């Protein structure tokens, strides 16, 4: 079932998009999912409230790494406001196959890392403007 989505996930896992580090990143954040052993680090370049570049490195299962690859594609070029609307459902739509509770944690780890990093810098920016 859902062979096409499984192929897409495997392809992202084997050939991840936006993989690597940004040497002069504005935001670097990483987190892990101890249940599965997944690790994700996100580097983001944020200019005028827009995520102009995003790259990730990590290790772990196909779901976590594919989710990171798909999400970085989705988020690059978006504003921090748009980023607020990217949620669990966005990730599920990208993954496209039903996930049990354990795999759901894998799929959501990259989003958790992105949001923690992005909202951190947003709060800093807002403080500076006041
Ligand atoms: Zn995992």
Question: At 83, is the secondary structure helix, strand, or coil?
Answer: helix
With cut-offs at 50, 70 and 90, classify the pLDDT of residue 3.
confident
Residue 69 CA to ligand 1 centre (angstroms): 14
Least confident of 17-21, 50-54, 63-67, 94-98: 94-98
Predicted TM-score of the model (pTM): 0.90
Find the mean pLDDT for residues 57-78.
Answer: 97
Which residues face 29 on adjacent strands? Answer: 42
76 near 61, Cβ under 8 Å?
Answer: no
For ligand 1, the distance from its centroid to the CA atom of residue 124, given in whole angstroms, is 31
Instruction: Determine the pLDDT at residue 121.
Output: 60
Q: How far is the CA of 38 from the centre of ligand 1 (A)?
A: 5
Tell me the CA–centroid distance for residue 114 and ligand 1, in Å: 17
- The CA radius of gyration of the chain, in Å to the nearest whole number, is 14
CA 73 – CA 95 distance, rounded (Å): 13
Residue 120 vs residue 45, higher pLDDT: 45
- Cross-strand bridge partners of residue 97: none
CA of 102 to the centre of ligand 1 (A): 8
Q: Are 50 and 12 in contact (CB under 8 A)?
A: no
- Going from the Cα of 24 to the center of ligand 1, the distance in angstroms, rounded, reads 28
């Amino acid at each position: 079932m859902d062979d096409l989505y499984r192929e897409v996930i495997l392809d992202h896992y084997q050939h991840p998009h936006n993989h690597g580090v940004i040497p002069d990143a504005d935001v670097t954040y990483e987190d892990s999912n101890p249940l599965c052993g997944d690790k994700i680090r996100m580097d983001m370049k944020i200019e005028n409230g827009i995520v102009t570049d995003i790259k990730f490195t990590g290790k772990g299962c196909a779901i976590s790494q594919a989710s990171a690859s798909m999400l970085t594609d989705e988020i690059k070029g978006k504003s921090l406001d748009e980023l607020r609307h990217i949620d669990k459902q966005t990730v599920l739509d990208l993954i496209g196959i039903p996930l049990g509770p354990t795999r759901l944690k894998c799929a959501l780890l990259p989003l958790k890392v992105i949001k923690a990093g992005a909202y951190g810098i947003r709060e800093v920016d807002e403080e500076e403007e006041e």
